[in-house]
Amino acid sequence: MASPATCTDEGTFKTPKTVRVRSCRRSAGTPITIPASPFMKKLGCGTGVNVYLMDRGEKLNASPWAVKKINSKCAAKQVALYQKRLNEEAKILKGINHPNIVGFRAFTTAKDGSKCLAMEYGGEQSLNDLIEKRREDGLKAFPAANIEKVAVHVARGLKYLHNEKKLLHGDMKSCNVVIKGDFETIKICDVGVSLPLDENMRVSDSKAEYIGTEPWMPKEALEEGGEITDKTDIFAYGLTLWEMMTLTMPHLAMLGDDNDEETEEDLMEESFDEDAYYERLGTRPALDTEGLGSSYQRMVELFYLCTEEDPKKRPSAAQIIKVLENNAPLEKTPCEVLDQRRRFPPW
């Protein structure tokens, strides 16, 4: 599937044209136009898709949209798969309405036949972008208050998905959390691989395929025939908080001393132990709790609970919210509030 700006064999773009969307109109009846990809700021990319910022104009006093489109460079045989996922994401997102989940705006077909999923613009950067920038700036863990705020807001979104919509997110990680400003808003995005949950919070459809992303997967998602439940999201949620405390990806800790002449890619290439990596997948990564200090104790405890190997020992999103929201404001909460596991109710 080609994007509105098609690429010639020589790699140069043909003159892009504005794509007029017929299925979505303003109240005055004027058709909405979605600019060709080169005329929008690229926000990011995923497997087979690119996401662009669509500025809808100051005259309209309209908020911007994030527009997800199939990557035109994908192999033809992959386009059908990515298109199916985009269709599913649009269908799921249309039925979701929660302040901590990026909202649906439109699903449209351009003149060239390509599909465009327009979503609420949830933030300037993903949480992963912020983690990478903080690491590059030579800083340490995010302040405990920021981590707790992310913990609360993401848990609210997961509680809504699990309990009200009976959906497993299916790919929880820092890349799928978008942040606006100085943690002003925090929203979950990318529900394209969500799976339906039954009344017992299990994915019971034998044909349903859990996609996920390896470093954030628990044991049950890595083993053939493992039972996938709402607790699968919780394991990945715990690792997302871990990312904010360590500024790295689970199970890919760098080895060796820092060297200004070597890039991160060079270090990873030299030190990466593939066998050790696959052996660690699905386990709880190490965390320097002493180095973090007592102000992080609350989040450390939550991380440990969420990454229990036995899914039954992990809290549900609703239980996490019950504990976190029943405490004083984050900046006034003493570390003793959640001192040790006895402060948590039985899961």
**Residue 209 identity:** E
Query: Is there a contact between 158 and 126 (Cβ–Cβ < 8 Å)?
Result: no
Q: Is 171 tagged catalytic?
A: yes
171, 190, 230, 233: which is the annotated catalytic residue? 171
Determine the Cα–Cα distance for residues 197 and 262; give it in Å rounded to an integer: 46
**Residue 3 identity:** S
**Residue 178 identity:** V
Beta bridge partners of 19: 34
- Maximum Cα interatomic distance, the chain, rounded to a whole number of Å: 65
Query: Is there a contact between 197 and 134 (Cβ–Cβ < 8 Å)?
Result: no
Quote the radius of gyration of the chain (alpha carbons, Å): 21
Closest CA to 104 of 197, 210, 171, 24: 24
Q: What is the dihedral of CA 117, 118, 119, 123, to 10 degrees?
A: 110
| 115 three-class SS | strand
Closest CA to 6 of 84, 93, 110, 87: 110
Query: Is there a contact between 127 and 100 (Cβ–Cβ < 8 Å)?
Result: no
Determine the Cα–Cα distance for residues 115 and 117; give it in Å rounded to an integer: 7
Determine the Cα–Cα distance for residues 308 and 312; give it in Å rounded to an integer: 8
Query: Is there a contact between 347 and 315 (Cβ–Cβ < 8 Å)?
Result: yes
| 20 three-class SS | strand
246: DSSP letter:
H
Residues annotated catalytic, as ranges: 171
